[in-house]
């Protein structure tokens, strides 16, 4: 079997760096690795399997001989360069939201719908939104067992979801407050240190943000469940890394807590941590830098029939972005 020539577009960004790490840690078999970025990053050297690789400037002629191109440089870059990649014969795995809802582009979480990878008429496979991935890792096994009807969710999203500048802003604000200094928020509309902000992404006409609507639209597509109902509130919290989601899920048949916990047995990428009497439940630090999502606080909802409440946590840079893309590449 011919080993693929792989390219990472946006190799020096947070997700690109994590993609490189995932390829190495998972011993991904490839013949050659090309690292692409903007002119500002071209010439930098990155290490892969003990060897230095020079980052090249991204251009429309960068994809000759590339078999798999993983894009992690933002929607504008994807819009401009994905066609050049597919025209050169590469299969594109795109981490932006640009193509996610296109009918002829599969939207894939490998643990949930790996078969969707096969139907890619445009040579593009979309990586879902990070909060959607983490939520569905907990919901898909329950949907399989009980039949998911609706979801009410609140996310608690780390500042690294805004990139390196989100982390820098949190650090600067904490330092300024500790030293009694004034500061002006730049990345976020309000102070993020010692605070939470109920806005992730831009607001739409219906009062929900784009991030909140992604869980509805992407969830329906990934689960092949067009009747799924979702209402979501996404909140930015002063945590460096890993997103948490509080979920109320309603099903077509009555679930028990024991059956729900058993539904996760043997499911890849998701583990139950749920013993409140011993203070055992998932927190962001438990998943930071880790592949798997954790689910806990599983209990019967006290308002709705046929409903469970649960809490799921996952590293949004890793499973929510880079790892999921590498897993798709492994399927290819």
Which one of 5, 143, 243, 271 is the catalytic residue?
Answer: 243
Distance CA 143, CA 255 (A): 11
Which one of 22, 130, 232, 234 is the catalytic residue?
Answer: 130
Residue 214, token pair as written in the block:
């992604």
Is residue 143 part of the annotated active site? The answer reads: no
Contacts of 128 (CB under 8 A, 6+ apart): 100, 107, 108, 109, 136, 214, 218, 222, 324
The residues with which 243 forms a beta bridge, in sequence order, are 314
Is residue 22 part of the annotated active site? The answer reads: no
Contacts of 94 (CB under 8 A, 6+ apart): 71, 78, 82, 124, 125, 126, 127
Active site amino acids: 130, 243
């Amino acid at each position: 079997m011919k080993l693929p020539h792989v390219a990472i577009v946006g190799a020096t960004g947070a997700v690109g760096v994590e993609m490189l790490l995932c390829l190495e840690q998972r011993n991904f078999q490839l013949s050659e690795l090309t690292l692409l970025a903007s002119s500002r990053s071209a010439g930098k050297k990155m290490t892969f399997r003990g060897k230095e690789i020079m980052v090249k400037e991204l251009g429309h002629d960068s994809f000759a001989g590339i078999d798999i191109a993983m894009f992690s440089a933002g929607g504008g870059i994807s819009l401009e360069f994905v066609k050049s990649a597919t025209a050169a014969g590469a299969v594109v795995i795109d981490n932006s939201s640009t193509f996610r809802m296109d009918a002829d582009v599969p939207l894939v979480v490998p643990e949930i719908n790996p078969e969707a990878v096969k139907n890619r008429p445009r040579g593009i496979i979309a990586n879902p939104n990070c909060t959607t991935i983490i939520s569905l890792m907990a919901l898909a096994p329950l949907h399989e067992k009980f039949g998911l009807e609706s979801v009410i969710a609140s996310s608690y999203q780390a500042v690294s979801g805004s990139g390196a500048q989100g982390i820098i802003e949190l650090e600067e604000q904490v330092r300024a407050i500790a030293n009694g200094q004034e500061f002006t928020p730049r990345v976020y509309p309000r102070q993020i240190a010692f605070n939470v902000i109920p806005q992730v992404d831009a607001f739409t006409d219906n009062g929900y943000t784009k991030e909140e609507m992604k869980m509805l639209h992407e969830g329906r597509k990934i689960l092949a469940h067009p009747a799924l109902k979702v209402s979501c509130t996404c909140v930015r919290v002063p945590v460096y890394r890993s997103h948490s989601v509080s979920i109320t899920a309603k099903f077509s048949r009555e679930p028990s807590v024991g059956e729900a916990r058993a539904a996760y047995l043997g499911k890849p990428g998701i583990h139950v941590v749920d013993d409140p009497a011993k203070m055992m439940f998932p927190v962001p630090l438990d998943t930071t830098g880790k592949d798997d999502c954790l689910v806990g606080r599983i209990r019967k909802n006290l308002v709705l029939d046929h409903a469970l409440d649960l809490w799921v946590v996952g590293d949004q840079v890793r499973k929510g972005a880079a790892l999921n893309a590498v897993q798709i590449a492994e399927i290819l």
